[in-house]
Amino acid sequence: MEYPFMKQCQFYEEIDSTNSAAKALARTGAPEGFVVYADRQTAGRGRLGKSFHSPKGGLYCSVILRPKLRACDMMALTAAIAVAVHRALLRFGICTQMKWVNDLFLGGRKICGILCEGQFSGDMPEFVIAGIGINLTPDPSLPTELRPIVTDILTETGVFIPREALLDAVLSCLNDVLIELPKRSFLEEYTRNSATIGHIVRVSQGEREFVAQAIGYAEDAGLIIRHADGSEEVLRSGTAVPL
Protein backbone atom coordinates (compact mmCIF):
# COMPACT_ATOMS: atom_id res chain seq x y z
CA MET A 1 0.00 0.00 0.00
CA GLU A 2 1.17 3.53 -0.67
CA TYR A 3 0.08 6.48 1.44
CA PRO A 4 -0.91 9.49 -0.69
CA PHE A 5 1.64 11.83 0.87
CA MET A 6 2.26 15.24 -0.60
CA LYS A 7 -0.47 15.04 -3.26
CA GLN A 8 -1.70 18.18 -1.52
CA CYS A 9 0.45 20.48 0.56
CA GLN A 10 0.64 24.02 1.86
CA PHE A 11 3.90 25.87 2.52
CA TYR A 12 4.21 28.92 4.78
CA GLU A 13 7.21 31.20 5.27
CA GLU A 14 5.81 31.79 8.77
CA ILE A 15 2.94 30.23 10.67
CA ASP A 16 1.92 29.91 14.31
CA SER A 17 1.99 26.09 14.30
CA THR A 18 1.80 23.67 11.37
CA ASN A 19 0.01 21.24 13.72
CA SER A 20 -2.73 23.82 14.37
CA ALA A 21 -3.13 24.50 10.64
CA ALA A 22 -3.20 20.78 9.77
CA LYS A 23 -5.73 20.13 12.54
CA ALA A 24 -8.06 22.83 11.18
CA LEU A 25 -7.74 21.35 7.68
CA ALA A 26 -8.37 17.80 8.94
CA ARG A 27 -11.54 18.98 10.74
CA THR A 28 -12.89 20.31 7.45
CA GLY A 29 -12.20 17.01 5.68
CA ALA A 30 -8.67 17.38 4.24
CA PRO A 31 -7.47 13.95 3.13
CA GLU A 32 -4.85 11.64 4.58
CA GLY A 33 -1.39 12.63 3.39
CA PHE A 34 -2.07 16.36 3.28
CA VAL A 35 1.14 18.13 4.40
CA VAL A 36 1.52 21.57 5.94
CA TYR A 37 5.11 22.78 6.27
CA ALA A 38 6.85 26.00 7.15
CA ASP A 39 10.15 27.84 7.32
CA ARG A 40 9.45 29.08 10.86
CA GLN A 41 6.75 28.88 13.53
CA THR A 42 5.78 31.56 16.01
CA ALA A 43 3.95 29.20 18.38
CA GLY A 44 5.44 25.73 17.76
CA ARG A 45 4.14 23.18 20.27
CA GLY A 46 5.85 20.22 21.89
CA ARG A 47 4.76 17.36 24.11
CA LEU A 48 3.45 17.97 27.62
CA GLY A 49 2.40 21.55 26.87
CA LYS A 50 5.96 22.69 26.13
CA SER A 51 6.75 25.16 23.38
CA PHE A 52 8.98 24.15 20.45
CA HIS A 53 11.51 26.81 19.47
CA SER A 54 11.10 27.07 15.67
CA PRO A 55 13.45 29.65 14.09
CA LYS A 56 13.81 30.32 10.38
CA GLY A 57 15.59 27.60 8.40
CA GLY A 58 14.19 24.47 10.03
CA LEU A 59 11.81 21.84 8.73
CA TYR A 60 8.49 22.14 10.52
CA CYS A 61 5.89 19.87 9.02
CA SER A 62 2.58 18.27 9.92
CA VAL A 63 1.04 15.34 8.07
CA ILE A 64 -2.64 14.45 8.28
CA LEU A 65 -3.07 10.72 8.97
CA ARG A 66 -6.34 8.82 9.17
CA PRO A 67 -4.98 5.56 10.55
CA LYS A 68 -7.01 2.54 11.60
CA LEU A 69 -5.60 2.52 15.11
CA ARG A 70 -6.85 2.65 18.66
CA ALA A 71 -5.92 5.18 21.32
CA CYS A 72 -3.53 2.64 22.84
CA ASP A 73 -1.52 2.57 19.58
CA MET A 74 -0.63 6.28 19.70
CA MET A 75 2.67 5.78 21.51
CA ALA A 76 3.77 3.17 18.96
CA LEU A 77 2.76 5.60 16.20
CA THR A 78 4.99 8.31 17.70
CA ALA A 79 7.91 5.86 17.96
CA ALA A 80 7.30 4.74 14.36
CA ILE A 81 7.47 8.36 13.17
CA ALA A 82 10.76 8.78 15.06
CA VAL A 83 12.10 5.74 13.16
CA ALA A 84 10.89 7.27 9.87
CA VAL A 85 12.87 10.47 10.56
CA HIS A 86 15.87 8.41 11.69
CA ARG A 87 15.77 6.44 8.41
CA ALA A 88 15.33 9.61 6.35
CA LEU A 89 18.47 11.10 7.90
CA LEU A 90 20.39 7.87 7.26
CA ARG A 91 19.80 8.55 3.55
CA PHE A 92 22.00 11.65 4.05
CA GLY A 93 24.63 9.65 5.96
CA ILE A 94 23.45 10.84 9.39
CA CYS A 95 22.77 8.36 12.20
CA THR A 96 20.65 9.75 15.05
CA GLN A 97 19.80 8.31 18.44
CA MET A 98 16.14 8.22 19.45
CA LYS A 99 15.12 9.22 22.96
CA TRP A 100 11.83 7.82 24.25
CA VAL A 101 9.41 8.63 23.04
CA ASN A 102 9.60 11.46 20.54
CA ASP A 103 13.05 13.06 20.28
CA LEU A 104 16.03 12.52 17.97
CA PHE A 105 19.53 13.35 19.16
CA LEU A 106 22.94 14.00 17.63
CA GLY A 107 26.02 14.33 19.84
CA GLY A 108 23.86 14.11 22.95
CA ARG A 109 21.63 17.07 22.04
CA LYS A 110 18.18 17.29 20.47
CA ILE A 111 17.81 17.95 16.73
CA CYS A 112 14.20 16.82 16.24
CA GLY A 113 10.94 16.60 18.16
CA ILE A 114 7.73 14.82 17.21
CA LEU A 115 4.21 15.65 18.37
CA CYS A 116 1.26 13.41 17.45
CA GLU A 117 -2.11 14.95 18.18
CA GLY A 118 -5.30 12.99 17.55
CA GLN A 119 -9.00 13.77 17.46
CA PHE A 120 -10.88 10.71 18.66
CA SER A 121 -14.34 9.37 18.19
CA GLY A 122 -14.55 6.89 21.07
CA ASP A 123 -11.40 4.79 20.93
CA MET A 124 -10.69 5.43 17.23
CA PRO A 125 -8.92 8.50 15.87
CA GLU A 126 -10.86 10.48 13.26
CA PHE A 127 -7.45 11.83 12.35
CA VAL A 128 -3.95 12.15 13.76
CA ILE A 129 -1.64 15.06 13.05
CA ALA A 130 1.97 13.88 12.87
CA GLY A 131 4.02 16.98 13.64
CA ILE A 132 7.77 16.89 13.05
CA GLY A 133 10.26 19.66 13.79
CA ILE A 134 13.89 19.30 12.66
CA ASN A 135 16.71 21.78 13.31
CA LEU A 136 18.70 21.98 10.08
CA THR A 137 21.04 24.92 10.65
CA PRO A 138 22.42 26.87 13.64
CA ASP A 139 20.13 29.39 15.27
CA PRO A 140 22.01 32.48 16.45
CA SER A 141 18.98 33.44 18.56
CA LEU A 142 18.83 30.11 20.42
CA PRO A 143 18.00 30.98 24.04
CA THR A 144 20.96 30.43 26.39
CA GLU A 145 19.07 27.91 28.50
CA LEU A 146 18.46 25.69 25.43
CA ARG A 147 22.12 25.63 24.26
CA PRO A 148 23.19 22.64 26.40
CA ILE A 149 20.23 20.57 25.17
CA VAL A 150 19.44 21.64 21.59
CA THR A 151 21.59 21.52 18.45
CA ASP A 152 21.17 21.23 14.67
CA ILE A 153 22.25 18.93 11.87
CA LEU A 154 24.72 21.29 10.17
CA THR A 155 26.57 22.00 13.43
CA GLU A 156 26.84 18.34 14.39
CA THR A 157 27.65 16.81 11.00
CA GLY A 158 28.75 19.57 8.61
CA VAL A 159 25.96 18.38 6.27
CA PHE A 160 23.50 20.93 4.90
CA ILE A 161 20.23 19.25 3.92
CA PRO A 162 17.77 21.32 1.86
CA ARG A 163 14.37 21.38 3.54
CA GLU A 164 12.38 19.91 0.63
CA ALA A 165 14.89 17.09 0.10
CA LEU A 166 14.55 16.05 3.73
CA LEU A 167 10.75 16.39 3.62
CA ASP A 168 10.64 14.04 0.61
CA ALA A 169 12.82 11.49 2.43
CA VAL A 170 10.77 11.75 5.64
CA LEU A 171 7.50 11.17 3.76
CA SER A 172 8.94 8.21 1.86
CA CYS A 173 10.19 6.63 5.12
CA LEU A 174 6.90 7.47 6.85
CA ASN A 175 5.11 5.51 4.15
CA ASP A 176 7.30 2.45 4.82
CA VAL A 177 7.07 2.61 8.59
CA LEU A 178 3.27 3.00 8.59
CA ILE A 179 3.05 -0.20 6.57
CA GLU A 180 5.22 -1.91 9.23
CA LEU A 181 3.22 -0.45 12.12
CA PRO A 182 0.87 -3.43 12.76
CA LYS A 183 3.82 -5.86 12.95
CA ARG A 184 5.88 -3.50 15.14
CA SER A 185 9.02 -4.46 13.20
CA PHE A 186 10.35 -0.88 13.55
CA LEU A 187 10.78 -1.44 17.31
CA GLU A 188 14.03 -3.32 16.78
CA GLU A 189 15.52 -0.27 15.02
CA TYR A 190 14.02 2.01 17.66
CA THR A 191 15.78 -0.05 20.34
CA ARG A 192 19.10 -0.46 18.50
CA ASN A 193 19.43 3.31 17.99
CA SER A 194 18.02 4.32 21.35
CA ALA A 195 19.42 7.16 23.45
CA THR A 196 17.35 5.79 26.35
CA ILE A 197 17.72 2.00 26.60
CA GLY A 198 20.58 0.82 28.80
CA HIS A 199 20.75 4.16 30.59
CA ILE A 200 19.86 5.21 34.09
CA VAL A 201 17.01 7.68 33.59
CA ARG A 202 15.28 10.30 35.69
CA VAL A 203 11.55 9.67 35.27
CA SER A 204 9.01 12.47 35.72
CA GLN A 205 5.30 11.69 35.69
CA GLY A 206 3.57 14.77 37.08
CA GLU A 207 4.41 14.86 40.79
CA ARG A 208 6.04 11.42 40.64
CA GLU A 209 9.83 11.55 40.14
CA PHE A 210 12.36 8.75 40.48
CA VAL A 211 15.50 7.21 38.99
CA ALA A 212 15.50 3.79 37.33
CA GLN A 213 17.21 1.81 34.58
CA ALA A 214 15.65 1.80 31.09
CA ILE A 215 15.84 -1.79 29.85
CA GLY A 216 13.61 -2.09 26.76
CA TYR A 217 10.40 -1.30 24.94
CA ALA A 218 7.03 -3.01 25.23
CA GLU A 219 5.00 -3.85 22.08
CA ASP A 220 3.12 -0.57 22.39
CA ALA A 221 6.46 1.35 22.68
CA GLY A 222 5.95 1.82 26.43
CA LEU A 223 9.31 2.12 28.21
CA ILE A 224 10.24 -0.86 30.39
CA ILE A 225 12.21 0.26 33.43
CA ARG A 226 13.82 -1.61 36.32
CA HIS A 227 13.64 -0.07 39.77
CA ALA A 228 16.48 -0.30 42.32
CA ASP A 229 14.62 -3.16 44.10
CA GLY A 230 14.62 -5.20 40.86
CA SER A 231 10.92 -4.75 40.11
CA GLU A 232 9.92 -3.77 36.58
CA GLU A 233 7.32 -1.34 35.27
CA VAL A 234 6.15 -0.16 31.85
CA LEU A 235 5.88 3.62 31.49
CA ARG A 236 3.24 5.03 29.15
CA SER A 237 3.42 8.69 30.11
CA GLY A 238 5.88 11.29 31.31
CA THR A 239 9.53 11.75 30.45
CA ALA A 240 12.69 9.69 31.05
CA VAL A 241 15.88 11.75 30.84
CA PRO A 242 19.12 9.75 30.56
CA LEU A 243 21.58 10.72 33.34
CB of 140 to ligand BTN, least distance (A): 20
* Residue with smaller CB distance to ligand BTN, 116 or 197: 116
Residue 132: closest CA among 7, 47, 72, 236:
47
Q: Which residues contribute to the site for ligand BTN (CB under 6 A)?
A: 17-19, 41, 44-47, 50, 52, 54, 60-62, 102, 113-115, 131-133
Report the nearest approach of ligand BTN to the CB of residue 216 (Å). Answer: 22
Shortest approach of ligand BTN to residue 53 CB, angstroms?
Answer: 9
CA distance 44 to 17: 5
Which residues contact residue 29 at a Cβ distance below 8 angstroms, ignoring those fewer than 6 apart? none
Pairwise CA distance, residues 151 & 145, whole Å: 12
What's the CA gap between 183 and 60, in Å, rounded? 28
Residue 62 or 196: the one with the smaller Cβ distance to ligand BTN is: 62
Q: Which is nearer to ligand BTN, 215 or 241 (CB)?
A: 241
What burial letters (b/e) apply to 138-158, b meaning 16+ CB within 10 Å? ebeeeeeeeeeebbbbbbbbe
Nearest-approach distance from CB 95 to ligand BTN, in angstroms = 20
Which one, 56 or 227, has the nearer CB to ligand BTN? Answer: 56
Q: Which residue is nearest to ligand BTN (CB)?
A: 113
Kind of pairing between the strands at 109-121 and 124-134 = antiparallel
